[in-house]
Amino acid sequence: MTTESSWDNYARLTPAGRQGPPPPFSWTVHPGHGPGAELLDVDPGASVLELGCGKGNRLAALAALDVHAVGVDISAVQIAGGRARWGPALELHQADAVHFLRHTAAEYDAVYSVFGAHWFTDPDVLLPAVRARLKPGGVLVLAHLAPGGRFETHGPTASRSGPGTVLRWEGEAYQWANLLTDHEFLTPSVCTIHPPHRSTAAPTVVLRSWG
Ligand SMILES: C[S@@+](CC[C@H](N)C(=O)[O-])C[C@H]1O[C@@H](n2cnc3c(N)ncnc32)[C@H](O)[C@@H]1O
């Protein structure tokens, strides 16, 4: 099974969502919960890239703010679902995130990933590729679940995230912040968003830094 086909299988299990307006932007799995798109610090007309955008629901919320919303996802099933749901409002690309970043000539005011490609790609490979396409002063926001109470003494470590062949890079917030600094991102800051009352979901860690 290839990485692409693993993610295609995952995409088939995740519903496209109801018709109608996009759900409110969230860095968590709970629409509208916690801080929103303001963490991207962009104005109308800005160009924003999501890495591992799935079916593009968050991008659609940004497009409604007159942001140029660009997404890349390795899964053809995810991208087809996003195109069917959101049409030309989004610029969607089916590709590995690193491959896309290395081959595009575009530059972005903001780049983000929510449980997306940054969680499943060696950060020492991905972060330099992001930095090369982020405008000076642009913002990078990464959101993922807190690791399961494990303590690591080194950087984020690759671990299997379930059946199939996909690796997930897990690490404490300070380890991600160190990685960002090592790759010349500026002033990384961290916030933890706890799930809504009665949810059993894990907290979401959000890292924000500047190019
Ligand atoms: C856990 S899902 C999250 C999707 C979406 N961000 C969300 O929150 O619903 C991870 C997504 O990242 C995509 N992905 C994984 N590795 C990737 C890579 N190397 N390049 C681009 N996309 C990738 C998968 O296809 C999948 O859509």
Give the separation between CA 159 and CA 163, rounded to whole angstroms: 12
Assess whether pLDDT exceeds 60 at residue 109: yes
- The pLDDT value recorded for residue 181 is 97
What is the best residue among 74, 77, 98 to mutate for testing ligand 1's pocket, by most ligand atoms within 8 Å of CB?
74
Indicate if the pLDDT at residue 124 is higher than 60.
Answer: yes
Instruction: Evaluate whether residue 203 is within a structural domain.
Output: yes
Query: What is the 3-class SS of 127-158, one letter each residue?
Result: HHHHHHHEEEEEEEEEEEECCCCCCCCCCCEE
**Stated pTM of the model:** 0.94
Residue with tokens 């199939």: 164
Ligand 1 center from residue 184 Cα (angstroms): 24
DSSP E strands in the chain: the ranges are: 47-51, 68-73, 91-94, 108-114, 134-145, 157-160, 167-170, 186-193, 204-210
The string of pLDDT tens digits covering residues 153-184 is 455 666 655 556 678 888 899 999 999 999 99
> Residue 17, class by beta-carbon neighbours within 10 Å (0-12 exposed, 13-18 middle, 19+ buried)?
middle
For the residues 110-132, what does the mean pLDDT come to? 97
Q: What's 71's domain CATH number? A: 3.40.50.150
- At residue 189 the predicted structure's pLDDT band, cuts being 50, 70 and 90, is very high
Q: Is residue 52 part of a domain?
A: yes
Whether residue 200 lies inside any domain: the answer is yes
In this prediction, residue 113 carries a pLDDT of: 98
The pLDDT of residue 3 is: 85
Q: Which of 25, 83, 115 to probe ligand 1 with, by most ligand atoms within 8 A of CB?
A: 115
Q: How confident is the model at residue 201 (pLDDT cuts 50, 70, 90)?
A: confident
Query: In this predicted structure, what is the pLDDT of residue 188?
Result: 94
Give the pLDDT score at 149. 45
Distance of alpha carbon 63 from the chain centroid: 16
134-145 vs 157-160, strand pairing mode: unpaired
Question: Hey, is 34 helix, strand or coil?
Answer: coil
* Residue 35 counted as domain residue: no
Statement: residue 7 has pLDDT above 70: yes
Given a cut of 80, whether residue 103 has pLDDT beyond it is: yes
CB atoms within 10 A of CB 123: 21
At residue 164, the 3 state secondary structure works out as: coil
Judged against a pLDDT cut of 80, whether residue 18 lies above it is answered with no
How many domains does one find in the chain? 1
- DSSP for 64-92, please give it: TTT-EEEEEES-HHHHHHHHHHHGGGSEE
Question: Is the distance from the beta carbon of residue 73 to the nearest atom of ligand 1 less than 6 Å?
Answer: yes
Cα gap 137→139, rounded to integer Å? 7
Ligand 1 center from residue 118 Cα (angstroms): 8
> What is the mean predicted confidence (pLDDT) over 65-80?
97
| CA-nearest residue, atom 9 of ligand 1 | 54
Is the CB of residue 92 below 6 angstroms from any atom belonging to ligand 1?
no
Domain housing 47: 3-13+42-210
Q: Tens digit of pLDDT for each residue in 22-64?
A: 999 999 999 999 999 999 999 999 999 999 999 999 999 999 9
